[in-house]
Chains A and B, each alone.
Chain A
């Protein structure tokens, strides 16, 4: 707005340094640093309560930070919130649709909030209904739509003003597998169209499938950062051998476990062994006299990264 911005072009669309949010005596976000670059698909991965949603709310300008710096498009959301929000689409974890309006009216009303004129809203709304396969439900009430359709409508609504950044908080929680995959496809199409996407999730496969880069959050802090591939290479071994012991794993000798692979995690009924070659590790396990009820070998995933970094599984 006529203000001379600093000469340097911001290197990131979102830039956080020492970002902190304190509720009473509890730190919801404890001094995190991250950058989200233009055009990338960026994820916050972590269990419930890790601080992901609070971080998203601070970016969306609806939660004033306690301390630290936060810049979106190079601007402070505390001072330029309205302007910033005009270029961000937000999809909440719980549906926030109007149940009295039709599917299409939900989009039309939202376009007005962004100051668009009625003609461009109508064109954009029809485009989005088409893109999210909702055209044949345009005139219907929202209430009877399936969960997947409601979620697609929420995303369509958030895109009405063609935002530069789309933010999604746990977008596939509560959806069946088919609806999830439909949604993933739609998000990937958007990304190819140039939209920067930020999402939170506690699903490993979602983060692995979608994100170019992600940060792993645990207990209000970022514990790792990188592409899914990088994180796996850095923090996990190539393959994983899972051994299942329905009668419990407490009695297994540490020495035996240490001898099987590069590292291991002992869970209640499973032993997870990180190794170069899962088959070979399994053979060693049998040589050491272990007798698992079942076993499997798989490539390492983000789940293993999280387990390695925190000593816990995500759904704990």
Chain B
């Protein structure tokens, strides 16, 4: 402030300090994960159905019921495997989407707008970016946990053909959760009430499950719809997950992985930006 000759280095040093203040810290976010784990220890029984049971019920219902209907035609659609084996890895990806999206909606909004604990947390050494990174990391971890269970069931029932394939599917579920949770967290931190979630879930999440190659090949859709599908994360997740489950060769693997990562990383950056904008007035 006083010495004119040191003005430039001082300013650039300040700019660096200001960036460090705003950026996520390499490790502080883990305290948000441990906070959410403390909450989860009390609340886990409430989410057992949606995280573990529901995907299996859907798989059993659709796989067996719809499988009978599809019958001999299945091979033509699936390229030789049973209909259950065809939709199981896709359902695993779409349940990672559902779980990731749900956890990114109400629990986040509650902490921003209702119980407002995020206001208290950003008054500790954690900054807004740490809170967002930790919140997204917890969701991804929770989905990884549910996916491990689902993959184990597929292995035991013989639907998944190899342990390596099952591991690959878990990896895909983790990326899927990341790709959906991050942008939806970004949306949630801008909301004042939960009315906006109806839009997200009815107009985006639910239709995506049908138009991403989950129940039938994406190539059966009109070209324009295919294009839209490839712009969203689930189609990539389904393609990857199915290939891991059935052990079929993958073309464009990096393209699919890149798409999921792009949604996740882009969503995280948006979440940090929008959360700061809301909280640091």
**A residues apposed to B, CB below 8 Å:** 23, 57, 60-64, 78-83, 85-86, 88, 90, 92, 94-102, 105, 108-110, 112-115, 157
Partner of B125, one of A85, A92, A101: A85
Q: Does B119 lie within 8 Å of A96, measured CB to CB? A: yes
**Nearest B residue to A61, CB-CB:** B123
Using known A-B contacts A60-B123, A85-B123, determine if residue A79 contacts B38 with beta carbons closer than 8 Å: no
Q: Does A90 lie within 8 Å of B120, measured CB to CB? A: yes
**Nearest B residue to A113, CB-CB:** B124
**Nearest B residue to A100, CB-CB:** B39
7 contacts between A and B (CB under 8 A): A85-B123, A92-B119, A100-B43, A101-B42, A108-B38, A113-B125, A114-B125
What are the interface flags for B33-48 relative to A under an 8 Å C-beta threshold, 1 for contact and 0 otherwise? 0110011001100000
Q: Does A115 lie within 8 Å of B125, measured CB to CB? A: yes
- In whole angstroms, what is the CA distance A115 to B34 when docked? 12
Q: Does B43 lie within 8 Å of A80, measured CB to CB? A: no
Q: Does A101 lie within 8 Å of B38, measured CB to CB? A: yes
- In whole angstroms, what is the CA distance A75 to B126 when docked? 18
- In whole angstroms, what is the CA distance A191 to B145 when docked? 47
- Chain A residues within 8 Å of B120, by CB: 90, 92, 96-97, 110, 157
- Chain B residues within 8 Å of A81, by CB: 21, 127
- Chain A residues within 8 Å of B21, by CB: 78-82
B117 on the interface (CB 8 Å rule)? Answer: yes
Name, among A23, A88, A100, A113, the residue most crowded by chain B CB atoms within 10 Å (CB to CB): A113
B58 on the interface (CB 8 Å rule)? Answer: no
- Chain A residues within 8 Å of B115, by CB: 95-99
- Chain B residues within 8 Å of A105, by CB: 38
Q: Does A78 lie within 8 Å of B43, measured CB to CB? A: no
Query: How big is chain B's contact interface, by range?
Result: 20 to 34
Using known A-B contacts A63-B280, A97-B115, A101-B38, determine if residue A112 contacts B123 with beta carbons closer than 8 Å: no
Closest beta carbon of chain B to A153's beta carbon, Å? 12
Closest beta carbon of chain A to B144's beta carbon, Å? 22
Partner of B124, one of A80, A98, A114: A114
Q: Does A109 lie within 8 Å of B125, measured CB to CB? A: no
- In whole angstroms, what is the CA distance A112 to B34 when docked? 8
**Residues B13-42 near A (CB distance < 8 A):** 14, 17-18, 21, 25, 28, 31, 34-35, 38-39, 42
Partner of A62, one of B38, B42, B280: B280
Secondary structure at the B interface, as helix, strand, loop or mixed, is helix
- Chain A residues within 8 Å of B38, by CB: 101, 105, 108-109
- In whole angstroms, what is the CA distance A92 to B123 when docked? 10
Q: Does A23 lie within 8 Å of B43, measured CB to CB? A: no
Closest beta carbon of chain B to A173's beta carbon, Å? 16
- In whole angstroms, what is the CA distance A92 to B118 when docked? 12
- In whole angstroms, what is the CA distance A161 to B116 when docked? 21
- In whole angstroms, what is the CA distance A57 to B120 when docked? 11
- Chain A residues within 8 Å of B117, by CB: 96-98
- In whole angstroms, what is the CA distance A60 to B127 when docked? 12
Closest beta carbon of chain A to B93's beta carbon, Å? 29
Closest beta carbon of chain B to A110's beta carbon, Å? 7
What are the interface flags for B216-260 relative to A under an 8 Å C-beta threshold, 1 for contact and 0 otherwise? 000000000000000000000000000000000000000000000
B202 on the interface (CB 8 Å rule)? Answer: no
Closest beta carbon of chain B to A248's beta carbon, Å? 43
Given pairs A92-B116, A100-B39, 13 additional interface contacts (CB within 8 A): A61-B123, A62-B119, A63-B281, A78-B18, A79-B17, A88-B123, A92-B119, A92-B120, A96-B117, A98-B117, A113-B31, A114-B125, A115-B28
Closest beta carbon of chain A to B130's beta carbon, Å? 9
**Residues B108-143 near A (CB distance < 8 A):** 115-117, 119-127
Closest beta carbon of chain B to A276's beta carbon, Å? 47
Q: Does B34 lie within 8 Å of A109, measured CB to CB? A: yes
Q: Does B125 lie within 8 Å of A86, measured CB to CB? A: yes
B279 on the interface (CB 8 Å rule)? Answer: yes
- In whole angstroms, what is the CA distance A81 to B22 when docked? 9
**Nearest A residue to B37, CB-CB:** A109
Closest beta carbon of chain B to A24's beta carbon, Å? 11
Q: Does A113 lie within 8 Å of B121, measured CB to CB? A: yes
Closest beta carbon of chain A to B110's beta carbon, Å? 9
Q: What 5 pairs between A and B have smallest CB-CB spacing?
A: A96-B120, A79-B17, A113-B124, A90-B123, A86-B125
